[in-house]
Amino acid sequence: HSPGVQPADLEEVVKKGVKTVVIGRGMSEALQVPPSTVDYLKKNGIDVLVLQTEKAVAEYNALAAQGVKVGGVFHSTC
C-alpha cells in the first residue's frame, strides 16, 4: 500500500494515449497515490481521478460510455 501507485506503474497506460486515468485506491482507500504520480500524469496532459475503488469503477465506466479515452488502475481490496 505504500509507496503506492508510482509513475512507472502507469507508463503502459500513458503510452496508450489515454486522456484520463482513474485510480481506485481500494475499498477502504488504503492504497497510496503520491503527489509525484499525479504530477507525472498531469505533465503528460492526462486528467487523473483518485477515488475509492467502487466510485472509481463507476467513474471509469461512465467516462468510457461517453467515448472518453480512459485508462484505469484499480486496487480491489483494502
- Please give the grid coordinates belonging to residue 66: 461517453
- Parse the chain into domains and list their residue ranges: 1-16+32-77
Q: Tell me, yes or no, if the pTM score tops 0.75.
A: yes
Residue, of 77 and 64, whose pLDDT is higher: 64
Measure the CA–CA gap between 1 and 14, rounded to whole angstroms: 22
31-57 tens-digit pLDDT: 999 999 999 999 999 999 999 999 999
How many whole angstroms separate alpha carbon 71 and alpha carbon 44?
Answer: 14
Measured in residues, the chain has a length of 78
